[in-house]
């Protein structure tokens, strides 16, 4: 039955995430960009709230991830700062993929460290999805593995893997040679000190600078069969891929909302020709457009998240996640660009975060 209201509990979690986003995340956006990473202190605060450990309690987590709830959290984090949000979610997708695709002992081994009270906040995971040859679409994954004795031979590339240089688990999405579409997708944990693997840390990035990332190239790289999470071609991998897209969409909605909110404040206070600039339709209509398109993209994202929680078939789910991230990033880009326009010259100056948000949105694709 149609319903557009989060539950009471989700609303409380959202509010908690929002206050953390405003009080802790937003103020550190610029400095994190200068540092090129999240500060351990901030990560510690977030970890203590349980927001960054959506794992089963048996692995020390705060309760197993639900897509709708976590989409709300992702939007709030993105509202705080898109790059820090991607830093957090990029890391989280490592253990979450292990949770969704891996077996019990892999889960125990790779997830538990994230919940550790004293060191969990220093732990980083990663999920390599997009490649040199495509974007965040399962059908565009062309890195392949083939079996050779007790090993897999890995070929292909990954780009923009957040925390990809220093993570454990370091998961990459690949496909069994000869498969296409959503068939044969696997999640493989890759050590980087193997023959045929090349890692390069991303430098001089346009945006998402506070989310350090790396790119990989694999040429006939041998990977032990024990690195496979669960069964090759299982539905858990597709659910992980869909979840990543849904959460990226959540962050993008948050980024768009941040831009909208910031531009609204500015447009209210800025006087030109004796009137607040928002009293001119050229500005008012731009704001109305931003708000309308953001709501549209958020609803699309929520729909994908509800499908994830309901266990909708993977084919549909993957598509819904892809549509959500595409539309949400689209509005994140246009809203941040328009926010700068509304700020005028000030938008171009780094005293205001709008330009950083525009770079972040553009770097999500």
Within 270-280, residue ranges assigned H as helices are none
- Residue of 192, 194, 225, 323 that binds other proteins (CB under 8 A): 323
Q: Which of 270, 289, 352, 365 binds other proteins (CB under 8 A)?
A: 289
Kindly state the tokens that stand for 148.
């050779």
Burial label, 299 (beta-carbon count in 10 A; 0-12, 13-18, 19+): middle
Q: Which of 114, 136, 216, 326 binds other proteins (CB under 8 A)?
A: 326
- Per CB under 8 A, 139 contacts other proteins: no
Whether residue 259 contacts residue 328, with contact meaning beta carbons closer than 8 Å, is answered with: no
297 part of the interface to other proteins, by CB under 8 A: yes
210 touches 363 (CB < 8 A): no
7 to 26: interface string for other proteins, x by CB under 8 A:
x-------------------
Considering the complex, what minimum distance in angstroms separates the CB of residue 303 from other proteins?
5
- Yes or no: say if 211 and 84 are a contact pair by the CB < 8 Å rule: yes
What is the distance between the alpha carbons of residues 132 and 67, in angstroms, rounded to a whole number?
Answer: 28
CA distance 287 to 294: 11
Q: Phi and psi at residue 352, in whole multiples of 5°? A: -105, 145
Contact criterion met (CB below 8 Å) for 223 and 152: yes
Distance in Å, CB of 144 to other proteins, minimum: 24
Interface residue with other proteins among 22, 122, 288, 349 (CB under 8 A) is 288
Among the candidate windows 142-150, 235-243, 322-330, 350-358, which touches other proteins by CB under 8 A? 322-330
From residue 71, alpha-carbon distances to 10, 26, 115, 353 in Å are 10, 18, 21, 23
Q: Does 233 bind other proteins (CB under 8 A)?
A: no
Could you say whether residue 68 binds other proteins (CB under 8 A)?
A: yes
Question: Between 154 and 305, whose beta carbon lies closer to other proteins?
Answer: 305
Q: Nearest distance from residue 20's CB to other proteins, in Å?
A: 22
Segment 92-111, which members bind other proteins (CB under 8 A)? Answer: none
Contacting residues toward other proteins, per CB under 8 A: 1-7, 68, 264, 267-268, 276, 278-279, 281, 284-285, 287-289, 291-293, 295-297, 299-300, 302-303, 305-307, 310, 323, 326-327
């Amino acid at each position: 039955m149609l319903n557009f209201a989060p539950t009471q509990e989700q609303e409380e979690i959202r509010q908690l995430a929002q206050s953390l986003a405003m009080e802790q995340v937003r103020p550190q956006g610029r400095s994190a960009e200068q540092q090129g990473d999240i500060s351990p202190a901030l990560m510690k605060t977030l970890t203590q709230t349980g927001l960054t450990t959506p794992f089963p309690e048996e692995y020390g987590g705060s309760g197993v991830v639900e897509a709708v709830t976590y989409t709300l959290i992702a939007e709030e984090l993105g509202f705080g700062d898109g790059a820090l949000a991607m830093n957090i979610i990029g890391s989280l997708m490592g253990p979450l993929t292990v949770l969704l695709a891996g077996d019990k002992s892999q889960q125990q081994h790779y997830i538990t460290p994230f919940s550790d009270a004293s060191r969990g906040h220093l732990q980083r995971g990663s999920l390599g999805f997009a490649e040199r040859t495509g974007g965040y679409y399962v059908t565009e994954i062309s890195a392949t593995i083939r079996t050779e004795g007790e090993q897999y031979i890995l070929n292909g590339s990954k780009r923009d893997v957040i925390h990809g240089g220093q993570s454990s688990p370091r998961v990459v999405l690949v496909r069994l040679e000869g498969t296409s579409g959503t068939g044969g997708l696997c999640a493989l944990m890759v050590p980087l000190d193997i023959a045929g693997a090349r890692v390069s840390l991303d430098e001089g990035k346009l945006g998402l600078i506070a989310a350090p990332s790396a790119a990989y190239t694999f040429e006939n790289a041998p990977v032990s069969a024990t690195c496979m999470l669960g069964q090759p071609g299982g539905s858990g991998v597709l659910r992980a891929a869909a979840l990543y897209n849904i959460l990226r969409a959540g962050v993008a909605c948050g980024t768009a909302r941040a831009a909208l909110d910031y531009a609204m404040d500015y447009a209210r206070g800025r006087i030109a020709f004796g009137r607040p600039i928002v009293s001119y339709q050229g500005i008012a209509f731009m704001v109305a457009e931003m708000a309308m398109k953001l709501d549209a993209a958020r609803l699309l994202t929520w729909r994908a998240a509800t499908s994830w929680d309901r266990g909708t078939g993977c084919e549909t789910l993957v598509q819904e996640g892809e549509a959500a991230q595409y539309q949400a990033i689209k509005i994140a880009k246009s809203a941040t660009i328009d926010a700068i326009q509304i700020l005028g010259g000030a938008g171009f100056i780094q005293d205001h975060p709008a330009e950083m948000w525009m770079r972040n949105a553009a770097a999500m694709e």
